[in-house]
Structure 1
């Protein structure tokens, strides 16, 4: 019997993805520090975690931990490059000493090390926001958790705190709005449970129209099925005008809104409006819960798209991500009103402590400076 197995093409060098610009910025920075070890004092706040490459993290951690040799010794002997390699090797197996020479050759100008460090910090900021966005999407779509809303809101708070910190760490500039095209919104959860809950809310609200006055936290756009949201708008309009509410009056209002069609007849509307059970608030909270998770999912996806566009600066990324979270914040406020929760104030970001890459601040901000003048 002939062997008809399809052979896969071999993986060639052309299949290796191109390195991003930050890879060369990391190489240039490490090369500058190999050529001028004392330049690490001029980099500002930078630590090994800012590097994307594992080998680069180990090398920078070694440079930050070791004491550089004297300039005269560094000029004559390769003690610095040998010490950095020996210190980093246990944390980056397979790190060849020749790679450190490659890094030194990859640095165009050692004096530009602070600029390279800013590039490394900026790309780390982008990756940080992407990680928070991924966690937000995961929390919003994993409805098997005991309390997915609490988890999603906690992830949204973590993303917001990260954005607040980046806003203080990176300066603003003109043209702060990103030009990245936002992704299409994710599909609404229109499964059997969602459809049943929305139908029960509309029909129960017909039986208890007085309850709609205390349900201003629910809006037609919260419904997964547009028809159900439109029927809820009809009910809200009747109660706002003080008109009688029953199946026939809602049917007439639905006709005025163009909802009665061959696909949704008057009899279909009457059947839907007469199958109430429970109380409107119960079903309304379930609908608003699904809407909140949908907006959390959309905000996470929008932020993911912004982080994928490397043309966005950190300030543009922060501005665009905050706008992506705005709709979720509005739905969250209505959720807190519906469930009787109190909005908690998020802690303000604290300044990042200085690392060995920068001079430490030895004076407490609350401790007044001691005067050198003697008291009379």
Structure 2
């Protein structure tokens, strides 16, 4: 049986056996459970607890976890205190109003699945961990779908909104789990490179060729795009290399034509390794078309943003599907996977001359759990602070003065 399913059954069994355990599970929500029947039952039990069910204030001691086979159908409830009998029956009845198929027999199965009711906070932490993985995966899938749709429509607004939602979800999950949301690179998984999205590859390649032709014909137009367009924004790596060569010639102040561009391509070894051919370079220079370099560059940038959003979404989904990854590491690695998208987005904003929107800070949930309960739920120990090493006598090293950045060129 799946460990997550066992954890969901155990936490519900603990609450059925000992209603007071709900006071230690304020941070656990019904939608954190994977199975709808578990969601409905936990919501019903929590509502009974809030309404002051007699079992909550009953003085009878809660029964310990029953041994295997000690809760047969029709006998288990009779062996419990009267208030607890009513608690189980009312919980099943309340959940049955919202979902079909729940029976008293399954409630007995849940109680049998709980080894120790006092361990409910730990079981709840397992349920929350599974919910975090599912939530991150669902939003990553959504981002990937929207990015593909934007690529077909040559738009970016939907992908940017979905990325904002995913970032907000990661920040909120970090608060719930009690970790500091910060991008951390994974130690093993390599970064996912942007891949071409199906549907408009021919149009994207055409835009890139037109842009390079305009830049080769009007080298001064490089000043309009060089600050925010990068070689990596081109879907075709060969086009990105031509753009890099054009930028290098312009940066040195060399004239640009078919001969000088071909010479620069050869000097960089792009002819020898097969990245480009002389015919490709000549065709780009001879295919000059009237148009605005900035307009074509923005179209290339739109495609780059959609591809990067899709690649980041795939990387986040892969992280979420890694069951061995703890929630804290998952959240921080996912934020790191969104970094390339944030970088392309910042350049897209610069290209359009509009200020970047400020992300609102997530509002704290009303009636949040006390820190002591959260600490108990996560079953963590507080790490001891490491004393700072004693300072050595002698002169301190002089900080290195950073060189001022040169003019940005690809």
- The TM tier, using the shorter chain, reads 0.7 to 0.9
2:73 is the alignment partner of 1:65: no
Which residue of 21, 25, 29 corresponds with 2:3? Answer: 21
Output the aligned Cα RMSD. 2.5
Which residue of 323, 331, 334 corresponds with 1:318? Answer: 331
2:319 is the alignment partner of 1:306: yes
- Secondary structure at the aligned position of 1:142 is classed as helix
Asked if the contact 1:288/1:335 (under 8 Å) is kept, the reply is yes
State the match for 1:329 in structure 2: 342
State the match for 1:9 in structure 2: none
Q: For residues 20 and 179 of structure 1, do their structure 2 counterparts lie closer, same or farther at Cα, with a shift above 3 Å needed?
A: farther
> Structure 2 CA distance, aligned partners of 1:179 and 1:310?
16
Q: For residues 84 and 293 of structure 1, do their structure 2 counterparts lie closer, same or farther at Cα, with a shift above 3 Å needed?
A: same
Summarize deviations over 1:288-324 as a string: whole Å, max 9, x none.
Answer: 1111111101110000001111111110111110110
State the match for 1:259 in structure 2: 270
State the match for 1:31 in structure 2: 13
Shift of 1:185: 3.7
Where structure 1 has 5 or more consecutive residues not aligned to the other structure, the ranges are 1-18, 360-376
Asked if the contact 1:28/1:107 (under 8 Å) is kept, the reply is yes
Shift of 1:110: 0.8
State the match for 2:212 in structure 1: 202
> Structure 1 CA distance, aligned partners of 2:371 and 2:248?
63
Shift of 1:354: 2.9
2:131 is the alignment partner of 1:124: yes
Asked if the contact 1:48/1:60 (under 8 Å) is kept, the reply is yes
Shift of 1:264: 5.0
Summarize deviations over 1:319-374 as a string: whole Å, max 9, x none.
Answer: 11011011111111111111122101101112122379999xxxxxxxxxxxxxxx
Q: For residues 171 and 355 of structure 1, do their structure 2 counterparts lie closer, same or farther at Cα, with a shift above 3 Å needed?
A: closer
Name segments (4+ residues, structure 1) moved above 6 Å. Answer: 355-359
Shift of 1:258: 2.4
- Secondary structure at the aligned position of 1:91 is classed as coil
Q: Where in structure 2 are the equivalents of 1:181-330 lying within 5 Å?
A: 181-182=189-190, 185=193, 187-189=195-197, 191-215=201-225, 216-260=227-271, 265-277=277-289, 278-330=291-343
Asked if the contact 1:34/1:81 (under 8 Å) is kept, the reply is yes
> Structure 2 CA distance, aligned partners of 1:356 and 1:55?
25
Asked if the contact 1:64/1:357 (under 8 Å) is kept, the reply is no
2:140 is the alignment partner of 1:155: no
Asked if the contact 2:231/2:243 (under 8 Å) is kept, the reply is yes
Shift of 1:45: 1.6
| Residues matched between the structures, number | 339
Summarize deviations over 1:68-112 as a string: whole Å, max 9, x none.
Answer: 324257852211111111111121211121000111111111111
State the match for 1:171 in structure 2: 178
> Structure 2 CA distance, aligned partners of 1:305 and 1:243?
46
Q: For residues 263 and 243 of structure 1, do their structure 2 counterparts lie closer, same or farther at Cα, with a shift above 3 Å needed?
A: closer
State the match for 2:149 in structure 1: 142
Q: For residues 182 and 102 of structure 1, do their structure 2 counterparts lie closer, same or farther at Cα, with a shift above 3 Å needed?
A: farther
Q: For residues 251 and 144 of structure 1, do their structure 2 counterparts lie closer, same or farther at Cα, with a shift above 3 Å needed?
A: closer
Range 295-304 or range 245-254, more displaced: 245-254
> Structure 2 CA distance, aligned partners of 1:322 and 1:47?
24
- Secondary structure at the aligned position of 2:338 is classed as helix
In the superposition, the TM-score normalised over structure 2's length comes to 0.77
Q: For residues 182 and 123 of structure 1, do their structure 2 counterparts lie closer, same or farther at Cα, with a shift above 3 Å needed?
A: farther
> Structure 2 CA distance, aligned partners of 1:358 and 1:71?
27
2:117 is the alignment partner of 1:107: no
> Structure 1 CA distance, aligned partners of 2:297 and 2:24?
57
